[in-house]
């Protein structure tokens, strides 16, 4: 399962699409990481909490998963994709993100 990769979206694509009503950004980092800055409008669901909070997600939306560099968000995305959700992974994660952040 570790080898499985979900589709990527790059930061420029995300900036163009982030205001779509059917797109939601999910940040799977830990609390202390998110405290340093999160993409505005993103929902914070720690990687370990995905199974217990999956009911908050809708299969009618597209989700962009975000972490620090792309590894944990890919794992979260694989979990969701296997359950029928439409997900992409932010290429390079927050390390590459140069758009706005809120604290």
| CATH classification for the domain delimited by 8-96, as one of 3.40.250.10, 3.40.50.300, 3.10.105.10, 3.40.640.10 | 3.40.250.10
Q: In sequence order, what are the residues at sequence separation of 6 or more whose Cβ sits closer than 8 angstroms to the Cβ of residue 3? A: none
Digit-coded pLDDT (tens) for 13-36: 999 999 999 999 999 999 999 999
Render 73-97 in DSSP notation, one character per residue: HHHHHHHHHHTT-EEEEETTHHHH-
Per-domain residue ranges for the chain?
8-96
**For 55-80, what is each residue's pLDDT tens digit?**
999 999 999 999 999 999 999 999 99
- As a whole number of angstroms, the distance between CA 102 and CA 38 comes to 5
Both structure tokens of 23: 């797109």
1 pLDDT band, cuts 50/70/90, is very low
Active site residue ranges: 67
Which DSSP symbol is given to 7?
P
């Amino acid at each position: 399962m570790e080898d499985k990769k979900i589709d990527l979206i790059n930061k420029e694509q995300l900036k163009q699409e982030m205001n779509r009503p059917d797109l939601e950004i999910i940040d799977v980092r830990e609390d202390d990481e998110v405290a340093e800055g999160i993409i505005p409008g993103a929902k914070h669901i720690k990687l370990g909490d995905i199974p217990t909070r999956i009911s908050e997600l809708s299969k009618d939306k597209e989700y962009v998963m975000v972490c620090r560099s792309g590894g944990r968000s890919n794992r979260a995305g694989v979990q969701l994709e296997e359950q029928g959700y439409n997900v992409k992974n932010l290429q390079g994660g927050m390390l590459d993100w140069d758009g706005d952040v809120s604290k």
